[in-house]
Structures are given as C-alpha cells and as structure tokens.
Structure 1
Amino acid sequence: MVEDRLTRSLDALGGVEDDIEKVEKEVELIRLSKLSPIYERRSRAISGVDGFWKVVLSQHSDFANYVRAADLKYVDCIKSIDIKWLCLENKNKDYRDVAISFEFEGIDGDFEAQVVTKYFTIEHDTSMFKYRGKRTEEDDLRDQELGFLTSKPCAIKWPKSYDGINPSLVSDKTSAKGKKDYRTGMKSFFSWFMWTGLKIGKEFSNGDGFANLLTDDIFPNSTKYYTEAQVDLEDENIDDEDISDGPIEMDSEESGSNGSSDETGTSSKKRKL
C-alpha cells in the first residue's frame, strides 16, 4: 500500500515536471517572437554606425577568452552579427537552435569580404560523439536529459597570412613544426567555424561556450556594451583634460614601491578602441 502511494506520487511529480518544462518552452517561444522584430529594428539602426561591433567586442572582457591576440585584427573586420532562432520558423525546433551570421569586411591582399552563417542544434543522443575526451557516464545522463549543443562545419575563407596554420592546408601533422602549426590553427577564431561539438579535445576548445556567449549575452546586450564603451571613452577624455603640464604628484597611498597599477603590476583595462 505504501509503495503504491509512493509510485503514484512519483508519477504525479514526473507529470508536473513535464508540464513545467512545456510551459517554460512556450514562454521562451513567446519571448523570442516578441524580441525578434526588435532585434531586426536594432540591426537596421546600427548598420549606419561605423565600427559598432568592433567597439562591442572590444568592450566585452569575456570575448577575449575565445580569440587569440593575433586574431583581433580580423575580429575588427566584423561588420555585422545576426542571430536567428530557428524555432520561430519551425516550432518543432528546440528554442536553443540558432543560426549565427557574421559579415566580414575584407583586407586587400589578405582577407576576403564574406558572409558566413553557422547553424547550431541541440541533440540528446550521446552516441554521436566521435571522440569522448574525458566524458563520464554522468555527463551522458545529463546531456541525454538536457541536450547538448552541436554544429556542422561551415565554409569560411581564412586570411592568406594564416596559410601556414590553416588546419586544412597543413599537410604535415607528424613533425614537431607541423603539429605546432596545426594546433595553433585549431586555436584560431576561424577554427570555431569548423567546430561540431562531437570531437572533444580534437577541435576548437569550448565552441559551445563561445556560441552561447554570442547568443545569450553579446548579441542581445550589444547596445548596452556599445554605450558603456562610449561612457568609458568620455571618462578617459575628461581625465586627460585634467592632467596639467606640470609634474605629477602622488601621495603615499597612491604610490607603490614599483609604481605598478596593482599588486601584480598588470593592468585590467579592456582593449583600446
């Protein structure tokens, strides 16, 4: 009798959880359907703002965690970023399925202007993994229930200056130099466009985290980051105007034995625009 009641209670709880999940998806679909036309309006508004995305990406401290310093020259070529939620066109799609598009301006003799779109989908079948890395049984159970992000490689034309590290052009992967060039290329921002999520440890690191950063933060909050950058720039200009031509005096609390900006002597400022 007690076991029967417990079984019925657990079944009821399972039904409640299913209903909650259903409502959450419906709410997310409504939210996205209302935001999508606003994002389109915003895209039209910022199309006339030179360097908008350069400023946004320079302002965002987490973005720098996914790109090498050498890639910033090409990141600055990003003219526009657009994200489409696929569930708005097909309600059978997961609300986390997206298409992320980049429009790049070119650099004469090095980098070709182009528009690249990469599609991301949520999967639940963990047998899809071609390389498992350090995945555990718990990882499989979690991803089977919640889903995990995957993508198909998409074509992008790399800078000519990267021919030596472009993974698709590195034919020698056995020598020390060949291995180093290949690994360097796989760390490049451009290798993210080849990311599938199914080859753990064998492709661009944390490609799903980068996709989520763009989808959940950088794209929806881009206007905020652009505005913050303008405020920071105005503050710097005001500080510059306050500096006189005379010698700079520092009191004992401001000065240190080595004159560094903090205890480690490093600066936490964002990349200069």
Structure 2
Amino acid sequence: MNTASNGSSGTPEELVNPEMISKLASIEEESDTVEQEILKYRTKLMTPVFEKRRQIAKETPMFWPTVFDAVDDEFASYVLPQDHPLISCINDLYVERDLSEPRTFTITFGFEENEYLEEKSLVLSKRFVYNEQDQEGSYSSEAVEILWKQGKKISHEKSSATPSFFSLFSWEGKETDVFDDGRQVAVLLADDIFPNAIQYFLQAFTDGQTDNLSDIDLLSDSDVELDHGEGGSKETSKRGSETQAGPKKKKVKADK
C-alpha cells in the first residue's frame, strides 16, 4: 500500500512532483562535490605516508606477493596459476591519484629481474581515466606494451577462455578488450589492495602463512591524524579510499 506522510495515497510517480525530484538531484550533486573535495584532501595528505611506506615495503622481502596472497577470493579469481611466478617477482606497487580528479589514477608495478620480462618492462605504469559524464563511473585507458623475453609471454590472446592477470595492461575500456574485468581489477587495486596493503600483509602472518613478525617495522596506513591547523582539532582518518570502495577487511593487529 502506498501512503504518503500526509495521508494521501498513490504511486511514487504521483506523489513526487518534478520540482521535488529536481531538488533532490541538486542535493545529490552537492553531496558528490563535497565527497570529491574530501577525497582530494585525503589524497594530498596521504601521499607522503604512502611514499614512506613504499620505501619500507621495497626493503621487505616478498611484501607485495604476500599481500596478494592474503587478499580474498575476488582478486584470486583474476589470477591464473601461470601468473604466480611473475607475481612473486613484484617488489613495488604504487597508485598515484590526480589531485584535480582523484578518481583518475596511475598504477605502477615494479618487478625484480626475472626470466619473463625484458629489462625495459621491469617497471610498468598504466593510467586509468575516470569518465565523469558516465553515471556508472566508467574508465578508459591506453594499452601498455609488455616486452616479454623470447618464449616467456604469459598474457593470452582473445582465444583464451580466461585471460592472464597481466592482460590488464592491454585493457582500454572497450568491448573488444581481451581482459573484460579490467575496470574491476584496477579499482580493486587502487581502492582496496594498495591503501590496505599493511593490513593484508599482517593478516598473512596472523593466518599462519608466515612465521615471524618480530623484525618487521612497517608504517601503518590504517590510521592517519588529520591536523586541522593551529588550535584546531585532530581526527583519525581510517584506511582506504572511499571513491569506489572495494571489499573491506577487519583491521588486523600484529602480535606483540
């Protein structure tokens, strides 16, 4: 039964007039604008934190492979068995957001020397551009060529039933893409895995995947104080970007 607060009844179309819809839409636009300003502020504030973590992570053996192992099944579904040897060579992952449009971001992968990639492909960067005009929040990108050593190419062509994770670099946001889930993987990396990397890393230890935490000292990205200036209050910013929120993990604390 459809009943309005004033006692009148009817369908939603009859109860809500165009002027009311216009007002609600305007408020939604204001809300989106505020959220983007918050994201810009957070991006600016978190950049030095992530840069500091980046250096420590590079010095931590198997940091990123351990993170990927700890991520839930959603990420695992994008990784084939033949991807694992090269994923184990990842020694750097960094996400840089545009300050003017932080929903646009660049993902950079760094690799140790390995039997798969030529030296020029040991660092691979791919930019994902957010389409503000699309209500569904679509992305576009340009294909990035990977230079494989002879006979060592992992990513597969369209004829393959399941594309390699590294086919992400060929994704452009088109219907003809080899890797149909490129947007989902990029957003998962940028909004969940990258900002929450330390929680995933520590989770691997608490899950019994690794033996010892005693010698590891990593900067936590889960709690960052936001200083609102002299005399102002401080608040704690919780982990993770909220623009295209990925799966959330319960905060994991290292054993003392």
So what's the TM-score if we normalise by structure 2? 0.67
Higher helix fraction: Structure 1 or Structure 2?
1
Which residue pairs with 1:63 in the alignment? Answer: 75
For 1:116, which of 124, 129, 152 is the aligned residue?
124
Q: Which runs of structure 2 are paired with 1:1-273 in the superposition (5 Å)?
A: 6-61=17-72, 62-86=74-98, 88=99, 91=100, 93=101, 95-108=102-115, 110-113=116-119, 114-123=122-131, 144-163=134-153, 167=157, 182-184=158-160, 187-199=163-175, 202-233=177-208
Q: CA deviation at 1:63?
A: 2.3
The structure with the largest alpha-carbon Rg is 1
> Structure 1, residues 26-64: CA drift from partner, whole Å, max 9, x if none?
111112222221111111222211111111111213322
Shift of 1:147: 2.6
Q: Contact 1:158/1:166 (CA < 8 Å) preserved in 2?
A: no
Q: Does structure 2 retain, via aligned residues, the 8 Å contact 1:56–1:222?
A: yes
Structure 2 residue aligned with 1:263:
none
CA distance in 2, matches of 1:68, 1:96: 28
- The one-letter code sitting in structure 2 at the alignment partner of 1:100 is I
CA distance in 2, matches of 1:64, 1:183: 21
Mapped to 1, the partners of 2:209 and 2:81 lie a distance apart of 26
Residue 10 of structure 1 deviates from its aligned partner by 3.5
Retained in 2: the 8 A contact 1:105–1:112? no
**Cα deviation code 1:44-95 (max 9, x no counterpart):** 2222111111111112133221111111111111110000001x2xx2x3x2
Q: State the Cα deviation string for residues 223-259 of structure 1 (Å, max 9, x = none).
A: 111111122337889xxxxxxxxxxxxxxxxxxxxxx
Cα deviation for residue 149 of structure 1 reads: 1.5
CA distance in 2, matches of 1:73, 1:193: 17
Aligned residues: 195
User: Would you say the 8 A contact 1:185–1:191 is kept in 2?
Assistant: no
Amino acid in the other structure paired with 1:50? P
Quick one: distance in 2 between partners of 1:183 and 1:26? 43
**Which amino acid counterpart does residue 117 of structure 1 have in structure 2?**
S
Distance verdict in 2 for CA 1:34–1:236, change over 3 Å: closer
Alpha-carbon separation, structure 2, partners of 1:33 and 1:121: 19
SS at match of 1:103: strand
Q: TM-score, normalised by structure 1?
A: 0.64
Any unmatched runs of 5+ in structure 1?
126-143, 168-181, 238-273
Q: How far apart are the structure 2 equivalents of 1:165 and 1:117? A: 16
Q: Which moved more, 1:73-82 or 1:22-31?
A: 22-31
Q: Is the 8 A contact 1:166 1:185 kept in 2?
A: no
Q: Which residue of 2 aligns with 1:138?
A: none
**Distance in 1 separating the partners of 2:156 and 2:141:** 20
Shift of 1:148: 0.6
Q: How has the CA–CA distance of structure 1 residues 146 and 37 changed in structure 2, closer, same or farther, with 3 Å as cutoff?
A: same
Distance 1:166 1:234 in 2: 30
Give the % identical residues: 29
Root mean square deviation of aligned Cα:
2.7
What code does the residue aligned with 2:140 have?
A: T
> Which residue is 2:227 aligned to?
none
